[in-house]
Structure 1
Amino acid sequence: MMTAFYVSFLITALLIELTPGPNMAWLALTSASKGRKSGFAAVAGIALGLALLGGASVFGLSQLAINSPIIFSFLRYAGVAYLLWLAWSTWTGDDKGRDSFADHCGLVDWFRHGVLLNLLNPKAAIFFVAVLPAYIDPQDSVASQTVFLSLTYVGIATAIHLIIVLLAGSAHNWLARGNRQFFIRRIFAVMIALIAIWFLRSTA
């Protein structure tokens, strides 16, 4: 793969990831409300979800999803429904205990949310179908290039997401003081619902 071509891909991927989107907003809210550990777990889930989409693109599954209006719509509405379910669970749920088992379960939950939100995000699949192939040399191994560029993109996305978690997580201690948690949880729920609407509009 030509170095200049690869540098161009790096710049493109960086600009795409720096553009505000549902992932970025959701991670910031999660880290500020639940803390950096939950944010890091969510980042790991998002990374796995993106990696799975990249793997699917190698076998043409992402292309199938984009070319089929039925599959695309299913992913779109399933993603919105999942976000709305998260909003409702946050609105009605009680805070978990501070013991290590509860903390562990919470981290697993946020990891799972990150995976599912990206697997159900057709906008993420579009990157692997519409953007990534433009940087593949047909004279070389397409599969190996797809895997390499996909891992590069996941690495860039993960680095940016980690920065978001570190910055937003710094507000967690202040938000968790006193009786703020109840109100913060309600605000958090409303904002997740707004992200769901944003997600619906951005994937139209």
Structure 2
Amino acid sequence: MVPLNELLLFGGAALLMVLTPGPNMVYLVSRSICQGTRAGVMSLYGVIAGFLLHMLAAAVGVTALFAAVPFAYEALKLAGVGYLLYLAWQTIKPNGRSLFEVRELAAESPAKLFLMGFMTNALNPKIAMFYVAVFPQFISAGNGSILGQSIQLGSLQILISFFVNLCVVLSAAKLAAFFSGNPGWIAVQRYAMGSVLAGLAIGLAAERRPG
């Protein structure tokens, strides 16, 4: 199984991912404001189902890849570092999108909300890249079953994403109103998140992991 220090590091990376602006967060905030908290929560259930799809696909794929290519980690490491730096730039670049930029959405049924949440996440390139480029860097053949490690890490990522997104859904209206009236805090949030993402990329680039 994955050592505790690796789990904590991965948990930090997963937390940064869920706090970084992306399709899931924008959709959940917009849905919660436009249709209410219940609609936001139902949409969140769909998003979590999308996470399960990504996790299972990554668990099977990473297991097969590591078995076929022993040094695949090094290639994925470079991709992961590049992806984190890309996210950092997307966060701090001029006219970058804030976490609480809201879109107007029409009211939908619970079933449609679940499906839309699922599709938003299943087709989310941010999450797909996280599982392809960052996720495998926390897996080592020396820690036992690669499939078991994948499920362990994926479950932690889903748990973190669920609780963070649930907090955002429950407080979406107040948070959006606060940031709308205090645009300076949006800039602070963007630059702080971009700096942390860049720091994580540098840390991963310098780290060596035994095969």
Q: CA RMSD in A?
A: 2.9
Question: What amino acid maps onto 2:34 in structure 1?
Answer: S
Cα pair 1:36 1:169 within 8 Å, conserved: no
Distance in 2 separating the partners of 1:34 and 1:169? 11
Q: Give CA deviations for 1:159-189 in whole Å, capped at 9, x if unaligned.
A: 1110111012569xxxxxxxxxxxxxxxxxx
The TM-score with structure 2 as length reference comes to 0.59
Gaps of 5+ in 2: 66-102, 176-211
Cα pair 2:46 2:113 within 8 Å, conserved: yes
Question: What amino acid maps onto 1:20 in structure 2?
Answer: P
Equivalent residue, structure 2, for 1:118: 121
Q: Give CA deviations for 1:43-74 in whole Å, capped at 9, x if unaligned.
A: 1100110111110112229x99xxxxxxxxxx
**Would you say 1:137 and 2:140 are equivalent positions?**
yes
The TM-score with structure 1 as length reference comes to 0.61
Cα pair 1:32 1:170 within 8 Å, conserved: no
Gaps of 5+ in 1: 65-86, 96-104, 172-204
Distance in 1 separating the partners of 2:39 and 2:3? 39
**Would you say 1:146 and 2:150 are equivalent positions?**
yes
Distance in 1 separating the partners of 2:169 and 2:41? 7
Equivalent residue, structure 1, for 2:15: 14
1:1-204 equivalence runs, <5 A: 1-60=2-61, 90=105, 106-139=109-142, 140-169=144-173
Cα pair 2:22 2:126 within 8 Å, conserved: no
Count of aligned pairs between the two proteins: 138
